[in-house]
Amino acid sequence: MKYLFLILISCLFFSCEKETESTSPNLIVKFKFDPTQVRLNNIGQPANIPTGNAGQTPVFNSISAHYFELTPNMYTQLGDGAVLYHAPETMAGGTTAIDFSQAKIVSENEAFLTIPLDQVTPGIYEWVRVSLSYQNFSVNLLHNNQNYAATLESFVGYNTY
């Protein structure tokens, strides 16, 4: 009986399950901050800066998104594509808002999303629809003929709490 008890106790200490690592391929979403990117309008067409206005290319430091969707074409209604990500929301402020405390903020080439391909609806997707919720970038300011380097942070989603 004594030996049987020792054998049972030994089994408890030495029995373990081997962890299996997933070998399924993943879709990995990373943001690329390209300062040479052509300025685009709200439907993805090249946009010019109107005469009398000015613009500069900010240096992005970090970014976050609220919504990520793959769509077959530019006319696909919001939500009718493959929605891969919808950030947590809250009603703590009274109305529905992006819950910034749960936002994933990433730098360039850092993985924002990693999704197993078997969880992505198969299809042909020509467009990526992304709704940003936060951006942090550096710009140059000119005030009274004095140049200043500045870092701006902005919440660009519909509501942020």
Instruction: Convert the pLDDT of each residue in 112-157 to its tens digit.
Output: 999 999 999 999 999 999 999 999 999 999 999 999 999 999 998 7
Distance of alpha carbon 156 from alpha carbon 137, whole angstroms = 13
- Decide if 4 is inside a domain: no
Domain count for the chain: 1
- Decide if 107 is inside a domain: yes
Q: DSSP class of residue 48?
A: P
Distance of alpha carbon 90 from alpha carbon 102, whole angstroms = 10
Instruction: Convert the pLDDT of each residue in 26-44 to its tens digit.
Output: 999 999 999 888 988 887 8
Residue ranges making up the domain that contains 81 = 25-35+57-161
Res 18: pLDDT? 52
Specify the pTM.
0.74
- Decide if 156 is inside a domain: yes
Q: Does 12 score more than 70 pLDDT?
A: no
Distance of alpha carbon 8 from alpha carbon 37, whole angstroms = 66
- Decide if 124 is inside a domain: yes
- Decide if 15 is inside a domain: no
- Strand locations in 51-161 (E): 59-71, 82-86, 89-90, 97-98, 111-116, 127-143, 146-155
Q: What are phi and psi of 9, to 5 degrees?
A: -65, -40
